[in-house]
């Protein structure tokens, strides 16, 4: 079983739409959780950390459900510039490495 599993998409949504990505992880001892964004042929960039209490950054909301080992990312009022691949990232129980999902592709259409 993969450490992190994501729906690869692609998600094609119109501007202004709300879109949600989900991710599950296998290691119940993981302590840190993140969403990264990767544009084509570029490096991944940290979008936001994910906490059990949920956290919001502008149009982006992340949630963590430890009991279900499930992480989500909600993007409201999608912009063209949101088009990218979104990577779910979970730490190992030692914290020495992060496990990356294969990413969910989003295209926002005018």
Partner 1 sequence: NAGVMQNPRHLVRRRGQEARLRCSPMKGHSHVYWYRQLPEEGLKFMVYLQKENIIDESGMPKERFSAEFPKEGPSILRIQQVVRGDSAAYFCASSLPANYGYTFGSGTRLTVV
Residues that bind partner 1 (CB under 8 A): 4, 31-32, 34, 42-46, 49, 87, 89, 91, 94-103
The whole-angstrom separation of Cα 84 and Cα 69 is 24
Report in angstroms how near the CB of residue 33 gets to partner 1 at its nearest. 10
Report in angstroms how near the CB of residue 108 gets to partner 1 at its nearest. 22
Nearest alpha-carbon partner for 38 in 87, 107, 88: 87
Report in angstroms how near the CB of residue 59 gets to partner 1 at its nearest. 20
The whole-angstrom separation of Cα 70 and Cα 7 is 12
Nearer to partner 1, 61 or 91 (CB): 91
Nearer to partner 1, 50 or 78 (CB): 50
Report in angstroms how near the CB of residue 68 gets to partner 1 at its nearest. 21
Nearer to partner 1, 60 or 99 (CB): 99
Q: How far is CA 91 from CA 8, 15, 27, 39, 51, in A?
A: 20, 33, 9, 22, 13
Nearer to partner 1, 1 or 43 (CB): 43
């Amino acid at each position: 079983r993969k450490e992190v599993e994501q729906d690869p998409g692609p998600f094609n949504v119109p501007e202004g739409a709300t879109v949600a990505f989900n991710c599950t992880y296998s290691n119940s001892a993981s302590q840190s959780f993140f969403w990264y964004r990767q544009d084509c042929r570029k490096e991944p960039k940290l979008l936001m950390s994910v906490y059990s209490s949920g956290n919001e950054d502008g149009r982006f909301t992340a949630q963590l459900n430890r009991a279900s080992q499930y992480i989500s990312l909600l993007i409201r009022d999608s912009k063209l510039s949101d088009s990218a691949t979104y990577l779910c990232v979970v730490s190992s129980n030692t914290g020495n490495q992060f496990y990356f999902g294969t990413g969910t592709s989003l295209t926002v259409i005018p």
